[in-house]
Amino acid sequence: MNKAKRDVVIAGNWKMNKSPAEAKELITALKPLVADADCKVVICVPYTDLFVAVEETKGTNIKVGAENCHWEKSGAFTGEIAPQWLKEMGVEYCVIGHSERRQYFGETDKTVNLRTKAALEAGLKPIVCVGELKEERLADKTHEVLDTQMAGGFDGITAEQMADIIIAYEPVWAIGTGLTATDEQANEACAYIRSIIAAKYGQAVADAAVIQYGGSMNDANAAGLLAQTDVDGGLIGGASLVADKFAKVVAAAK
Q: Is 104 exposed, middle or buried (0-12, 13-18, 19+ CB in 10 A)?
A: exposed
Q: Which residues contact 119 (CB under 8 A, 6 or more apart)?
A: 69, 83, 94, 96, 125, 126
> Any bridge partners for residue 168, and if so which?
129, 212
Among 101-109, 157-165, 194-202, 214-222, the segment contacting ligand PEP (CB under 6 A): 214-222
Pairing of strands 125-130, 166-169: parallel
CB of 58 to ligand PEP, least distance (A): 26
- Indicate whether 217 belongs to the interface with ligand PEP (CB under 6 A): yes
Active site residue 170: yes
Q: Does 238 engage in binding with ligand PEP (CB under 6 A)?
A: yes
Counted residue by residue, the chain has a size of: 254
Nearer to ligand PEP, 206 or 233 (CB): 233
In whole angstroms, give the CA distance from residue 99 to residue 106.
10
Annotate 169-207 with DSSP letters as a single string: E--GGGSSSS----HHHHHHHHHHHHHHHHHHH-HHHHH
Instruction: Give Rg (Cα) of the chain.
Output: 17
Any catalytic annotation for residue 143?
no
**Cβ closer to ligand PEP: 15 or 115?**
15
Nearest of 63, 11, 45 to residue 233 by alpha carbon: 11
Spot the catalytic one: 56, 100, 107, 170.
170
CB of 38 to ligand PEP, least distance (A): 21
Active-site pick, 56, 70, 98, 107: 98
Instruction: Decide: is 44 part of the binding site for ligand PEP (CB under 6 A).
Output: no
**Does 171 participate in binding ligand PEP (rule CB under 6 A)?**
no
Closest to ligand PEP by CB, 153 or 238: 238
Dihedral (Cα; 52, 36, 194, 209), 10-degree rounding: 70
Answer yes or no whether residue 253 interacts with ligand PEP by CB under 6 A. no
Identify the residue among 170, 219, 230, 232 touching ligand PEP (CB under 6 A).
Answer: 170
Which residue from 236, 247, 250, 252 is in contact with ligand PEP, where contact means CB under 6 A? Answer: 236
Name the segment binding ligand PEP (CB under 6 A); options: 67-75, 137-145, 230-238, 245-253. 230-238
Binding residue (CB under 6 A) for ligand PEP from 116, 216, 221, 228: 216
Q: Please report, as ranges, the residues that interact with ligand PEP according to CB under 6 A.
A: 13, 15, 98, 170, 175-176, 214-217, 235-239
